[in-house]
Every structure is written in structure tokens, then in C-alpha cells.
Amino acid sequence: MDQENKVANEEGDIECYYGKGMEDRIYSQPLLTKRYNTTSQIAIVGANACPVESLDYEIIENELFKQDWRSRRTIQIFQYVLLKWAFALIIGLGTGLVGIFNNIAVENISGFKLLMTTKLMLEHKYYKAFAALASCNLALAAAAAALCAYIAPAAAGSGIPEVKAYLNGVDAHSILAPSTLFVKIFGSILCVSAGFVVGKEGPMVHTGACIASLIGQGGSRKYHLTWRWLRYFKNDRDRRDLITCGAAAGVASAFRAPVGGVLFALEEAASWWRSALLWRTFFTTAVVAIVLRAFIQLCSTGTCGLFGEGGLIMYDVSAAKVAYSVPDILAVILLGVIGGIFGSLYNYLVDKVLRTYSIINEKGPAVKILLVVTISLLTSICSYGLPWFATCIPCPIDTTESCPNTDLSGNYKSFQCPPNHYNDLASLFLNTNDDAIRNLLSTSTTKEFHISSLFIFFIAIYCLGVITYGIAIPSGLFIPVILAGAGYGRLIGRLFDPITKLDVGLFALLGAASFLGGTMRMTVSLCVILLELTNDLLLLPLVMLVLLISKTVGDMFNHGVYDQIVKLKGLPYMEAHAEPYMKHLVARDVVSGPLITFSGVEKVGNILHALKTTGHNGFPVIDEPPFADAPELCGLVLRSHLLVLLKGKIFSRDRVLSGDEVVHRISKFDFAKAGSGKGVKLEDLDIKDEEMDMYVDLHPITNTSPYTVVETMSLAKAAVLFRQLGLRHMCVVPKSQGRPPIVGILTRHDFLPEHILGLYPHIRLRK
């Protein structure tokens, strides 16, 4: 291992490695460290060297797998198919119930806090009102931060980048653990109730994925819940499908948009898709929609508490008349351009803030909590202080709502105003985020908000949204982006009021769409989600237009926000396309070494030495005489499978084939994927000295049909194949005969820009 350079992780508690010999350990993108590639000594700035393993989405076609499939009866195949649909049903039910629980909890906690503040305001106890609001927010924020800092740091943020990376094949630590699910649910409730400019909708995607992961564990050996008929799901491929269903269910639960949830999983989350998965995902989101509808009807009777009736997002703008002319189209185009510019700037600022917070958060849990409390206090000051700059507006005489509102959420908050007047800024700030969006999207209320108030609200929400994302709380980006977009959309609507026919509420919706397109760079799924949210198909052409324009403008400046966060977190995500410089290289140019191979019947001591001295997760198996006429590639064997085989101690003193004994003594279930990172470890092996010189037959556990490419294949073509097939290892074989049967192995690490540009620093200059 002389080519390896051991590097300490930023947190100091994990040893990470950087070097050409570390197969399947990922050396990825930026936080704020600096390191040198050991081959070229070219500085790689911002490379986070934490080891992250890839997932085994490939079917391991070894002898045990074939024997298992041959032994399956029709009833077992029926059980397998039935369980897939049953798990989809359970994921839909679980995610829907969590969505209902989140909404009811947030609405009641926020409702209690806001009603207490309103009551003190009506009694002209303004300082006490601010103290009550700020103290409630601080307590809720501190509780959410403590959960994240001490129990599950992986629950911070929206979780969508982590789910996206997992579905790309990256097994990041603890992102789908039970503790992460617990903190995601309760932390999200606490931080949204604390008045932060965040949403509970983004974390619902992560929550749905965590629920699906728990169900997809296939039982638990620790708690003796390993039913035989669950063994078929102990693999990464089936778990990936279930987590895709969970991500779609999260969107459906958050936005009451079942079709939008399916399209979100297809467009943004999943890296691999097939028609069978489409049906199960659609079934899962349909179950979520049914669960939500049942509870919405229950809450409409007033049994869900203070704000239960309005808790689930549904902004009905269908009452507005949709008729547009050339000036309206020009206004919509302007909205799209503004959304693309503001969205790209938003992504740039979020990137800078996250880099800054990463340095602060490294100082420990106490500093994380202090940062959260500081942002909470700043948010409380803005929410309570900015409405004092707004002028009181007389209540409209033709409104059907109570004006001013004193005991309900609504458009007309009294704040400090005299009777029969309302404060428009307070109506936006001193409400839940959902109700603030509902107020901005309200139709037939052209003069409800002053232009100056909309401008102040947009600037405040834009800035608060930037500085809030990245602190140690579960936080979604959807709601801050919708809030800011609806704010400047309604502002543009007011400015174009003399020449436009569109309602200002529809302008607010189109502004939200433009900002969403400019930040997240999605089109189809966002379009459907917004239409399902607002219940107005007549807006379809305008929403499509504004999304296309904003995405196009935003792409001119930078990548989508989730892509940036994936890169920033150091998750080695493989894009669907190859980089241009890869066309100038071939597969053998980036092969990592040294290559370690095993014979078909290998000495136990050699295997144990290789496992101890390397971090490789895949080893080529080569048959040599007398088991073959000439050296030939038998296949590929995984580290995890070798550990299980060594623990079973099916050894022989002579170098002979003993595959039948392995098949009879060890079942495929023993080699199944362990849940939550558990499984046989090197420390669990108890190999005696006399066993080191014995032999073990690797043929039964060797994948005899690994994916191979010839060494002269274009690296760009190899990268596309690697990503589209969802591989963990790709064998590179020689073009000519008379050479060793394998040149090397390509893993995810070998396709990363840090590795390639470290070897060939000037290749980027070539067109």
C-alpha cells in the first residue's frame, strides 16, 4: 500500500484513504480541505476524502444464486411479486400517515404560538408579544437542533440530495437509518413550528425513503425477525425500488400531488427506471392520496385542532378567470427570466453559505445549536419587526372573510392597527408558511398587499431562506422558494396591472413556478405538482412556458440546487452524461492499481492478507491450470461474500474443487445484504494458524458474468455504460491474446473528475 496517502477526516474520528489502490472508496468533492494526488502531485482543492461505498445494484450470478432460483417453486415466485405490491401499499400508508401527523402537529403548535402573540398584541402588550413569539421560536428551534446535533446529524437539511445520491448508487452513512427517520419527523415539526423560512415538504421525500428502507430491510436477525419469505428483499436492487417508491410517496404526501410524486421520482430522484417500477410507484402515491383525502374529510369537521382544516397544502386558484393576451405573455416571459436569474443567484448564495456553515458546524454540537438559535432570533426579529414598517389598510367592504383576523389564520392580520384595519405584512409574516402562500395566491384581491410590502417580504424571505438552509435542522427548500417566488410574482402582477388581464394571484403562482424552475431546474414534475396544488389546468401553457424559460436562463449560470448540494456534501454522484474530456481517454488510462486477483481455489492466508491490506470490495477470480487450459477470467468475487465464506470455514487441505460442499452448507440467504451497515466484518473472523495454509473454493460465490469492456473503449462510453447499468465494478480486459486475462477494474472512483484530472491535469484544455 505504498501508493496510499492516509488522510484524516475533517471530524477527526474516521480514517479516510486517498490512493490508486483503494477500489470502491470514493474521494469526492469539496468542503474545504486540500490534498495532493499521489501520482501527479497536482493539488486537488476541496476534496473530501471520506470513504463512501457503492451499492450492489448488479445481480450477482454465482452458483448459489443459480441454485436458489432453480429451487424456487411457483408459490415462492408468487409470494415475491405479492410482497412487492404489499410493501408498496405499506410505504404509501406509512408516508401518508406521517404527512398527516406532520401537518396537524405544525398547525396546532404554530396556531397556539400565533394566537398567544395575537392576544397580547390586541392588549397592546407589544414587548410581551415579541418576547412570547421569540421565546417559543427559540425553544422549538433549540429542540430541533439538539435532535439533529446529538442523535442524527444526517437528518439535517432536506435529505433530497442524499436520497438522490443513494438512488445513484452511493451508500452514504446513516442517511436512511431509523434514528434519521425519527429526527426527520420530529425535527421537521419543531423547526417549521419555530417560524423558520423552511418547509416540511422537502424532508417528506427523505422521510418516505427512510420508511421504505426500514420496510426493505427484509427482517432483522438481531431481533429474530428473519422470516424466510423476506429473504428475497435482502439486496440493494429491491431496496432501491422500494426507496424510489418512498421518495415519490413523500412528494405525494407533502403536496397532495400523486402524479407529481411519480414524475418527481422519475425526473429528479431516480437514476434508473423501468416500466414495472412505474406501476408500483403510481400505486404507492395513489395510496397516499387516499389516506390524505380520508383525513382531510375528518379534519374538515374541526377534530384536528386549531388549524387542522387548513393544514394540508392546496391552493385553489380555479376561481380566477384565465384569459391572457400579448402583454400577459410578455409579462410571463419576464417572470421566467427573473426566476432564472434569481434562482441561479439563490443557488450561488446557498453554496457559499453551506461552505461557511460547514466550518462552523465542525466545532461541535454546541456550536451547531448556537448557530440555529442565532438564526431563530434573527427570523423572529424580522417576522415581528418588519410589519411595523407597513401602513395600516382599511378592511375591504366586499370581503367574505372576517377582517381583521384575531383567532384564525387569514389574509387580514390586525397587528398594531386600529379597528377595521389590517397590516398586510403581518398577514404574511405572522402566519404559517402554508397560509402565507395561500394569502399570496389568493385571487380577486388586487389591492390587498401594497407594492412596498411585497418588495420587503420578497427581500426578507429571499435572504432568510438563504441563511437558514444549512443549519442543523431538517429543512426543505420548496416552501422558501415558493414563498419568495409568489412574492415577486404578485409584485410583477401589481406593476403590470394597468395592461394585463391576469389576476395577481395567478401572477403569484407563475412567479413561484419561475423561481422553482430557476433553482431546482425541473420542468415536468414541477409543472404537474403546481397544477395539482392549484387545481387549474387552464394555466398549463403559462406554467410550462415560465418553467422552460427559467430553467434555460438558470442553466446558463450554474447547476440546480440539489446537484450543487450533492457535490458540496462530497457524495460521488455520477451524471447521466460523460464529461467532454473523457472522449480523449480510453478505459486503461484510468485503471487504478495495484490489481489483486485470486485463483479459483485460493489459499486462505492469501485471501485474509488481501482483505487486511486493501480496501478493495471486488476481486477478479482467475482459473489457472489444472482447472483451465490457460489462465482465464472466471469472474468477480465481493469482499462481503469472501468474509461470509471464510467465517463458514469450508476449507480443504488440498487444492481441489469443493463447490458442492459450499452449496450444501451455506445458503444464498447467508450472503444477503445486511441491514443498516451490519454484516460480517474482518474482526469477526477467527482463522487459526493451521487454517492459513488451507484452500477454499471461490467458484460457488464468484459472479461468473461480470460486465467487461475492452481496454481500448472510450472512457466516455465506459462511463455511460457504468452509470446506465448501475454497476459497482467494471472489468477491463485486454484487447490482444497472450496477456493476463484482466487489465484492471473500473469503479465509481475512476470516473470522478478529481481522479481523472489528477492523472491528466491538462486534459480539460482539449476540446
Cα 596 to Cα 697: distance, rounded to the nearest angstrom = 17
339 and 397 both lie in a single domain: yes
Task: Please tell me the predicted confidence (pLDDT) of residue 38.
Answer: 30
Contact 27, 749 (CB under 8 A): yes
Task: Please tell me the predicted confidence (pLDDT) of residue 311.
Answer: 41
Which carries the bigger pLDDT value, residue 301 or residue 468? 468
Task: Please tell me the predicted confidence (pLDDT) of residue 225.
Answer: 59
pTM: 0.88
Confidence of residue 283 (pLDDT cuts 50, 70, 90): very high
Reading the block at residue 91, the C-alpha cell is 410505504
585 and 607 both lie in a single domain: no
Confidence of residue 766 (pLDDT cuts 50, 70, 90): low
Which carries the bigger pLDDT value, residue 297 or residue 24? 297
245 and 278 both lie in a single domain: yes
Residue 369 placed within a domain: no
Task: Please tell me the predicted confidence (pLDDT) of residue 263.
Answer: 96
Most confident of the ranges 277-291, 387-401, 747-761: 277-291
Confidence of residue 400 (pLDDT cuts 50, 70, 90): low
Task: Please tell me the predicted confidence (pLDDT) of residue 622.
Answer: 94
Task: Please tell me the predicted confidence (pLDDT) of residue 762.
Answer: 83
**Cβ contacts of 709 within 8 Å, gap of 6 or more:** 587, 718, 721, 730, 731, 732, 733, 746
**Cβ contacts of 11 within 8 Å, gap of 6 or more:** 362
pLDDT in tens, 68-89: 777 778 887 888 889 999 999 9
Mark residue 322 as left, alpha or beta (left: phi above 0; alpha: psi -120 to 50; beta: remaining): beta
CA dihedral 432, 434, 436, 437 (to 10 degrees): 170
Q: Which has the minimum average pLDDT: 41-50, 123-132, 607-616?
A: 41-50
Angle subtended at Cα 431 by Cα 129 and Cα 203, rounded to the nearest 5 degrees:
120
Q: What is the CA radius of gyration of the chain?
A: 29
The domain total for the chain is 4
Q: Which has the minimum average pLDDT: 61-70, 423-432, 619-628?
A: 61-70
506 and 586 both lie in a single domain: no
682 and 735 both lie in a single domain: no
Phi and psi dihedrals of 622, rounded to 5? Answer: -120, 125
Confidence of residue 483 (pLDDT cuts 50, 70, 90): very high
Cα 724 to Cα 272: distance, rounded to the nearest angstrom = 7
Mark residue 157 as left, alpha or beta (left: phi above 0; alpha: psi -120 to 50; beta: remaining): left
Identify each DSSP E strand in 454-499 by its residue range.
none
407 and 491 both lie in a single domain: yes
Q: Is residue 294 pLDDT above 70, yes or no?
A: yes
Contact 439, 411 (CB under 8 A): yes
- State mean pLDDT over 520-548: 91
Q: Which has the minimum average pLDDT: 250-254, 273-277, 507-511?
A: 273-277
Confidence of residue 355 (pLDDT cuts 50, 70, 90): very high
Q: Which has the minimum average pLDDT: 467-471, 523-527, 557-561, 594-598?
A: 594-598
SS (HEC) of 310-340:
HCCCCCCCCCCCCCCCHHHHHHHHHHHHHHH
694 and 750 both lie in a single domain: no
Residue 41 placed within a domain: no
Which carries the bigger pLDDT value, residue 744 or residue 59? 744
Q: Is residue 570 pLDDT above 50, yes or no?
A: yes
125 and 255 both lie in a single domain: yes
Range of the domain at 337: 326-363+392-569
Task: Please tell me the predicted confidence (pLDDT) of residue 138.
Answer: 97
Task: Please tell me the predicted confidence (pLDDT) of residue 142.
Answer: 97
Q: Based on the number of CB atoms within 10 Å of its own CB, is 419 exposed (0-12), middle (13-18) or buried (19 or more)?
A: exposed
45-66 burial code (b ≥16 CB/10 A, e <16): ebbbbbbbbbbbbbebebbbbe
Contact 260, 251 (CB under 8 A): yes
- State mean pLDDT over 40-52: 37
Task: Please tell me the predicted confidence (pLDDT) of residue 50.
Answer: 43
Beta-bridge mates of residue 586:
714
Q: Is residue 615 pLDDT above 50, yes or no?
A: yes
462 and 565 both lie in a single domain: yes
Cα 281 to Cα 265: distance, rounded to the nearest angstrom = 9
Residue 27 placed within a domain: no
510 and 448 both lie in a single domain: yes
Which carries the bigger pLDDT value, residue 207 or residue 43? 207
Reading the block at residue 116, the C-alpha cell is 398567544
356 and 398 both lie in a single domain: yes
Q: Is residue 406 pLDDT above 80, yes or no?
A: no
Name the domain boundary from 703, 722, 738.
703
Contact 577, 543 (CB under 8 A): no
Confidence of residue 42 (pLDDT cuts 50, 70, 90): very low
Q: Is residue 352 pLDDT above 90, yes or no?
A: yes
Q: Is residue 31 pLDDT above 80, yes or no?
A: no
Residue 25 placed within a domain: no
Residue 138 placed within a domain: yes
Q: Is residue 232 pLDDT above 90, yes or no?
A: no
pLDDT in tens, 691-727: 899 999 998 889 999 999 999 999 999 999 999 988 9
Q: Which has the minimum average pLDDT: 1-10, 159-168, 753-762?
A: 1-10
Residue 318 placed within a domain: no
Residue 89 placed within a domain: yes
CATH of the domain at 330: 1.10.3080.10
pLDDT averaged over every residue in the chain: 84
Mark residue 499 as left, alpha or beta (left: phi above 0; alpha: psi -120 to 50; beta: remaining): alpha
Name the domain boundary from 650, 673, 703.
703
What percent of the chain has a predicted confidence (pLDDT) above 70? 86
Residue 34 placed within a domain: no
565 and 675 both lie in a single domain: no
Name the domain boundary from 656, 674, 703.
703
Reading the block at residue 297, the C-alpha cell is 374529510
